[in-house]
Amino acid sequence: MTQKTTNEMRLNARVENVAPSATLAMSARASELRREGRPVIVLSAGEPDFDTPAPISEAGAKAIRNGFTNYTANAGMPELREAIAGKLQRDNDLRYDPDQILCSNGAKQSVALAVHVLTGEGDEVLIPAPHWVSYPEMAKLAGAEPKRVPTSVESGYKLTPEALDDAITDRTRLIVLCSPSNPTGAAYSPDELEALAEVLRSHEQVYVLSDEIYEHIRFAGEHQAFAALPGMKNRTVTINGFSKAYAMTGWRLGYLAAPARITDAAAKVQSQFTSAPSSISQKAGVAALEMDHGPVREMRDAFRERRDLVVERLRAIDGVRCPEPEGAFYVFPDVSALLGRETVSGRSIENSTDLCFYLLEEHNVALVMGEAFGAPDGLRLSYAASREDLEKALDRIEEGLAALP
């Protein structure tokens, strides 16, 4: 009997079915060009360009110095879970027992666990588009079927109650909401969320995954936790984390809060896959929640100024429609009017991917194509970059788009 070589081996069909990250293709090409000495400005990254505030880093350093370097309880150390419960009560008017909170290696892992616990074969997961790249792929990995629900520039990229009602079927098991949103920056008002909750009240089988990781990067209006709306707490998994608000992307710390049965199930999966997040990061996380939030507000204000600059410049370009984002650090202009053209160099611009590669290869700006977010009419620009780089990049984008015949 001959043995199969590694190449011929069958892999898990769900894994084969998962799309590789389109954003990685973009980053890889941008890095290649930089290595060749090209002055590429990268506006494709999803992380704050600030350092982690000093009290947080100091708490991490102290944990190392004090030898706090062992495994913690799988769901996170009690001190952190209590601090998170305190935060949810203080900021979001949500009362959770610390044991209803599960700390993970980043909010990404929290989302993955929630999707795996709640959905499986035969279930549909509703995902308003444009959406964060990972939601549909996580649903597929869980064996469920992602179902995109398109939103429009006209609605500010927000899901309407009518569209939600139309999209729900007997198979719908979960809806993913993300406010403020990656990639659009759209942030729902309390009334808009209440209108969605009202639809869900007549569909009891549908759970909600409310990804609130950009909660603190909001430029106007109050953040409304979805779980705090009447009747929603027992069917909502709230996701939050430290990466964005506290500039802690590399510390890998996030959490979910949910009804005990869901948290327990997610903790069970975590215990077999990864165990708790780093003890050092958890100590830093406690310091983040307990510190004075001045630095968080300063970062938010800096993002707001950059948002104003970027939106004004993009709106001045022919063929670009740009709703004003209310949070996060992304804009998602609609560029559909610029597609279906050919550049002077003979490059055909059929879709957002072509447009992004054109801007990268010929104008040295890295953005992310709308296809990655289930919205091929747009593209994502991250303004987590210096004002100087943003001004330079916008000059190049303006020039590149003006050169399209």
Q: How far is the CB of 226 from ligand PLP (least distance, A)?
A: 14
Q: How far is the CB of 125 from ligand PLP (least distance, A)?
A: 15
Choices 102-110, 194-202, 255-263, 395-403 (CB under 6 A): range interacting with ligand PLP: 102-110
Q: Could you say whether residue 211 binds ligand PLP (CB under 6 A)?
A: yes
Q: Could you say whether residue 107 binds ligand PLP (CB under 6 A)?
A: yes
**Of positions 76, 254, 323, 376, contacts ligand PLP by CB under 6 A:** 254
Q: How far is the CB of 380 from ligand PLP (least distance, A)?
A: 11
Q: What does the DSSP assignment read for 260-315?
A: HHHHHHHHHHHHHHT-SPPHHHHHHHHHHHHS-SHHHHHHHHHHHHHHHHHHHHHH
Q: Could you say whether residue 377 binds ligand PLP (CB under 6 A)?
A: no
d(CA 285, CA 77): 11
Place of tokens 């790249």: 133
**Of positions 48, 53, 60, 106, contacts ligand PLP by CB under 6 A:** 106
Pull the structure tokens for residue 91.
């900021």
Q: How far is the CB of 310 from ligand PLP (least distance, A)?
A: 18
Choices 73-81, 88-96, 103-111, 120-128 (CB under 6 A): range interacting with ligand PLP: 103-111
Give the residue with the Cβ less far from ligand PLP, 188 or 358. Answer: 188
From residue 41, alpha-carbon distances to 37, 114, 393 in Å are: 12, 35, 6
Give the residue with the Cβ less far from ligand PLP, 245 or 338. Answer: 245
Paired strand residues for 368: 380
**How many contiguous H segments (helices) and E segments (strands) does the chain have?**
13, 14
Choices 106-114, 195-203, 256-264, 380-388 (CB under 6 A): range interacting with ligand PLP: 106-114
**Of positions 46, 146, 285, 333, contacts ligand PLP by CB under 6 A:** 46
From residue 106, alpha-carbon distances to 122, 274, 388 in Å are: 28, 12, 30
Q: How far is the CB of 147 from ligand PLP (least distance, A)?
A: 18
Q: Could you say whether residue 60 binds ligand PLP (CB under 6 A)?
A: no
In sequence order, the 6+-apart residues with CB closer than 8 A to the CB of 337 are: 319, 320, 321
Contacts (CB under 6 A) with ligand PLP, residues 181-200: 182
Q: How far from the centroid of its chain's Cα atoms is residue 45's Cα?
A: 11
d(CA 351, CA 315): 20
Q: Could you say whether residue 27 binds ligand PLP (CB under 6 A)?
A: no
**Of positions 23, 26, 126, 132, contacts ligand PLP by CB under 6 A:** 132
Q: How far is the CB of 252 from ligand PLP (least distance, A)?
A: 7
Give the residue with the Cβ less far from ligand PLP, 119 or 243. Answer: 243
Give the residue with the Cβ less far from ligand PLP, 139 or 317. Answer: 139
Choices 15-23, 101-109, 162-170, 309-317 (CB under 6 A): range interacting with ligand PLP: 101-109
Q: Could you say whether residue 108 binds ligand PLP (CB under 6 A)?
A: yes
Choices 78-86, 107-115, 348-356, 374-382 (CB under 6 A): range interacting with ligand PLP: 107-115
* Dihedral pair phi/psi, residue 169, rounded to 5°: -125, 180
Closest residue by Cα to residue 192 from 219, 229, 217, 166:
229
Q: Could you say whether residue 178 binds ligand PLP (CB under 6 A)?
A: yes
Quote the DSSP letter at residue 342: E
Give the residue with the Cβ less far from ligand PLP, 105 or 364. Answer: 105
Coil, helix or strand at residue 403 = coil
Query: Please, is 188 exposed, middle or buried when counting C-beta atoms within 10 Å of its C-beta (0-12, 13-18, 19+)?
Result: buried
In sequence order, the 6+-apart residues with CB closer than 8 A to the CB of 94 are: 88, 225, 227, 228, 233, 238, 257
Q: Could you say whether residue 336 binds ligand PLP (CB under 6 A)?
A: no
Give the residue with the Cβ less far from ligand PLP, 183 or 400. Answer: 183
Give the residue with the Cβ less far from ligand PLP, 251 or 358. Answer: 251
Q: Which residues of 63-83 are buried (b: 16+ CB within 10 A; e: fewer)?
A: beeeebeeebeebbbeebbbb
- CA dihedral sign of residues 100, 103, 104, 109: positive
Give the residue with the Cβ less far from ligand PLP, 111 or 167. Answer: 111
d(CA 243, CA 203): 33
**Of positions 213, 225, 310, 338, contacts ligand PLP by CB under 6 A:** 213
* List of residues contacting ligand PLP (CB under 6 A): 46, 106-108, 111, 132, 178, 182, 211, 213, 241, 243, 249, 254
